[in-house]
């Protein structure tokens, strides 16, 4: 009999994680479907100072704790991209890249994405000077100047964060003053590396390969001024967000801007369907309001599911068994390692599902510090699964294996399948930060059972009959990058003509310079075509076919 969840939560940001915690605590059979890293925008925020009870916290750390709390109360996490939904029946259906899920209720918490301004040069120089995520791309602008466009919370907070790297940050605000809390604005004004220019808008940006020119205009006096530089500079756009709700068009009521209206209990116009977080029309979009929405939505869903079951006259024996909070796994007699025990515990759970052996092969160049560091990380990871093997060779020790995996950059680790064949999956960098997720998922996809994939997409992958090399340039702080890496490496796993390399471009200045990479993810096909931004597997296939 096909499983029916009590609650399907779409999106793993603060609203979805809060909903998962409350739903799990109410003993509802709960699944959270997230296409990337849990935490949403909070996971990309450097500092969280305005969340009650949490002082001077890092966004990724708060997000990790939220996920762990939801898991502790039994919430199941599924990685997948939403393809289609059907809310017309009593049982709601959600089709994803990882399979189809059915539930008695649904909580939509897919969040929002940064808006784009549309000024001349914005699209052309995205990835080559124009950026939208300070934690993802800030380090690329070390010792360079950057402009931050915006006057709200995000603009102020990210301007402060960017001073860690940039030699000067100029805030360009079309408003006459900041629209965020005064305490945050004061921190901006107090920072000696930040200049603020109000009543001003960006008109255009241009350059050669990278941005080195921008034009601005005062929207009161109409006076225009130009900024030219002998070196590259950056433009970070933080002008607000737009809801990620296009998959639900025609399934729930939306306003003209794409936001999903709800009542005070987060209910949409469809019974059993709720919305929470930044995709709702509301005055304040912060972590504190998102988690409140999630808690209310889960509580309302619990009441709806209880009534649903009562009306269906389901007996007690048919009800899902209550899930008790999971106790933390403990490794006895284990020395302190690189991985946190909570992460190691999660990895063991994934590796226990492996159907076939996977061998990790790393070639160590002792002159490269990161190569030695990678070896230590791999030694620790390989101990977490019986079907996970590790082979370590010094550079030059085994020329045959080096040629087999095309070892041309260090650090390097490649994946071999159960028959010892190189399957085109390779990492040039440490599988840490967000890229630990892509590393683990690529092992899972190679070993089986792997993430679900439609027969239509699989057929398109098999049709590729030419040799293809895909390089995915990433930074370990980029929450968009794992999706691109997993997609590219799934192509390699399913087609022997394809090789997919994850490259930490902050470790490879030559690659960064060759392809003018100032933003990630950067997807490079056959060392020629470069595309910036997260891409789905279908989009990468289309890039290959061009």
How would residue 315 be classed by pLDDT, with cut points 50, 70 and 90? very low
The CATH number of the domain holding residue 202 is 3.50.50.60
Whether the per-residue pLDDT at 58 is higher than 80: the answer is no
137 is catalytic: yes
Q: How many Å apart are CA 206 and CA 215, to the nearest integer?
A: 9
Query: Domain ends where: 237, 270, 304?
Result: 237
Whether the per-residue pLDDT at 338 is higher than 90: the answer is no
* pTM for this prediction: 0.73
Please check whether residue 155 lies inside any domain of the structure: yes
* Core vs surface per residue 348-379: b (16+ CB within 10 A) or e: eeebeebeebbbbbbbbbeebeebeebbebbe
Same structural domain, 190 and 310: no
pLDDT at 436: 87
Please check whether residue 327 lies inside any domain of the structure: no
Among the ranges 60-74, 314-328, 342-356, 515-529, which has the highest mean pLDDT value? 515-529
Same structural domain, 18 and 102: yes
pLDDT at 323: 53
Please check whether residue 160 lies inside any domain of the structure: yes
pLDDT tens digits for range 263-283: 999 999 999 999 999 999 988
Q: How many Å apart are CA 439 and CA 165, to the nearest integer?
A: 28
Q: Considering the candidates 6, 29, 136, 278, report the single residue annotated as catalytic.
A: 136
Query: Domain ends where: 303, 318, 333?
Result: 318
pLDDT at 43: 52
Same structural domain, 364 and 512: yes
Same structural domain, 489 and 456: yes
Same structural domain, 393 and 540: yes
Whether the per-residue pLDDT at 324 is higher than 70: the answer is no
pLDDT tens digits for range 4-51: 999 999 999 899 999 999 999 999 999 999 876 655 555 555 556 666
Give 304-313 contacts, CB < 8 A, sequence gap 24+: 304/104, 304/105, 304/271, 304/272, 305/6, 305/7, 305/28, 305/104, 305/105, 308/90, 308/104, 308/105, 308/272, 309/104
Please check whether residue 329 lies inside any domain of the structure: no
Q: Find the range with the poorest average confidence among 61-65, 149-153, 472-476.
A: 61-65
Please check whether residue 333 lies inside any domain of the structure: no
Whether the per-residue pLDDT at 288 is higher than 60: the answer is yes
- What is the total count of domains within the chain? 3
pLDDT at 393: 97
Please check whether residue 540 lies inside any domain of the structure: yes
How would residue 329 be classed by pLDDT, with cut points 50, 70 and 90? very low
Please check whether residue 516 lies inside any domain of the structure: yes
pLDDT tens digits for range 66-100: 888 898 889 998 888 888 999 999 999 999 877 88
481 is catalytic: no
Provide the residue range defining the domain that includes 34.
4-111+245-318
HSE-up (13 A, CA, CB side) for residue 542: 6
Please check whether residue 331 lies inside any domain of the structure: no
Same structural domain, 231 and 252: no
180 is catalytic: no
Please enumerate in sequence order all residues whose Cβ is within 8 A of that of 288, keeping only pairs 6 or more positions apart, or say none: 50, 51, 52
Q: Considering the candidates 6, 29, 81, 133, report the single residue annotated as catalytic.
A: 133
Whether the per-residue pLDDT at 447 is higher than 90: the answer is yes
Same structural domain, 219 and 304: no
Please choose, from the candidates 109, 526, 35, 59, the residue with its C-alpha nearest in 3D space to the C-alpha of residue 280: 109
Q: How many Å apart are CA 70 and CA 150, to the nearest integer?
A: 34
Whether the per-residue pLDDT at 314 is higher than 70: the answer is no
Portion of the chain with pLDDT greater than 70, in percent: 91
Same structural domain, 390 and 281: no
Q: How many Å apart are CA 252 and CA 275, to the nearest integer?
A: 10
pLDDT at 196: 98
Same structural domain, 458 and 517: yes
Same structural domain, 229 and 249: no
Query: Domain ends where: 318, 333, 359?
Result: 318
The CATH number of the domain holding residue 452 is 3.40.30.80
Q: Considering the candidates 6, 81, 137, 483, report the single residue annotated as catalytic.
A: 137
Same structural domain, 66 and 191: no
Same structural domain, 226 and 287: no
């Amino acid at each position: 009999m096909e499983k029916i969840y009590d609650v399907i939560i779409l999106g793993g940001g603060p609203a979805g994680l809060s909903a998962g915690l409350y739903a799990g605590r109410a003993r509802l059979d709960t699944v959270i479907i997230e296409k990337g890293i849990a935490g949403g925008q909070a996971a990309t925020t450097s500092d969280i100072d305005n969340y009650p009870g949490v002082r001077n916290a890092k966004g990724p750390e708060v997000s990790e704790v939220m996920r762990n709390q939801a898991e502790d109360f039994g919430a199941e996490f599924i990685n997948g991209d939403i393809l289609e939904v059907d809310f017309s029946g009593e049982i709601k259906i959600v089709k994803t890249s990882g399979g189809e899920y059915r539930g008695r209720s649904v909580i939509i918490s897919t969040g929002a994405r940064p808006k784009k301004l549309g000024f001349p040069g914005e699209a052309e120089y995205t990835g080559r000077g124009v950026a939208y995520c300070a934690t993802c791309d800030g380090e690329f602008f070390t010792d360079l100047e950057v402009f931050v466009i915006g006057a709200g919370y995000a603009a102020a907070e990210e301007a402060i964060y960017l001073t860690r790297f940039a030699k000067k940050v100029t805030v360009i605000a079309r408003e006459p003053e900041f629209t965020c809390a005064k305490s945050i604005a004061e921190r901006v004004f107090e920072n000696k590396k930040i200049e603020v220019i109000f009543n001003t808008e960006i008109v255009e940006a241009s350059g050669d390969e990278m941005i080195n020119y921008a034009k601005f205009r005062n929207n009161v006096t109409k006076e225009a001024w130009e900024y030219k530089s002998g070196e590259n500079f950056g433009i970070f756009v933080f002008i607000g967000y737009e809801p990620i709700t296009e998959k639900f068009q025609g399934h729930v009521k939306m306003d003209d801007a794409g936001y999903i209206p709800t009542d005070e209990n987060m209910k949409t116009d469809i019974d059993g369907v709720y919305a929470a977080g930044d995709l709702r029309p509301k005055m304040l979009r912060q972590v504190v309001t998102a988690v409140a929405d999630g808690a209310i939505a889960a509580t309302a869903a619990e009441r709806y599911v209880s009534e649903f079951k009562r009306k269906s006259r389901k007996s007690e024996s048919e009800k899902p068994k209550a899930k008790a909070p999971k106790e933390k796994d403990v490794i006895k007699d284990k020395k302190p390692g690189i991985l946190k025990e909570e992460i190691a515990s999660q990895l063991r759970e994934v590796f226990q599902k492996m159907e076939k052996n996977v061998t990790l092969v790393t070639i160590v160049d002792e002159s490269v510090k990161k190569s030695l560091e990678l070896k230590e990380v791999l030694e620790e990871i390989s101990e977490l699964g019986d079907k996970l093997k590790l082979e370590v060779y010094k550079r030059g020790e085994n020329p045959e294996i080096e040629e087999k995996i095309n070892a041309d950059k260090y650090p390097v680790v490649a994946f071999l399948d159960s028959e010892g064949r190189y399957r085109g999956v390779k990492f040039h960098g440490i599988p840490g930060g967000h890229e630990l997720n892509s590393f683990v998922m690529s092992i899972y996809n190679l070993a089986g059972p792997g993430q679900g994939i439609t027969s239509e997409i699989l057929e398109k992958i098999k049709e590729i009959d030419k040799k293809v090399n895909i390089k995915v340039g990433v930074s370990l702080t980029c929450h968009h990058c794992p999706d691109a890496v997993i997609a590219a490496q799934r192509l390699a796993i399913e087609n022997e003509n394809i090789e997919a390399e994850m490259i930490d471009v902050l470790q490879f200045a030559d690659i960064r310079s060759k392809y003018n990479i100032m933003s990630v993810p950067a997807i490079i096909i056959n060392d020629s075509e470069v595309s910036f931004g997260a891409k789905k597997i279908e989009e990468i296939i289309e890039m290959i076919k061009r």
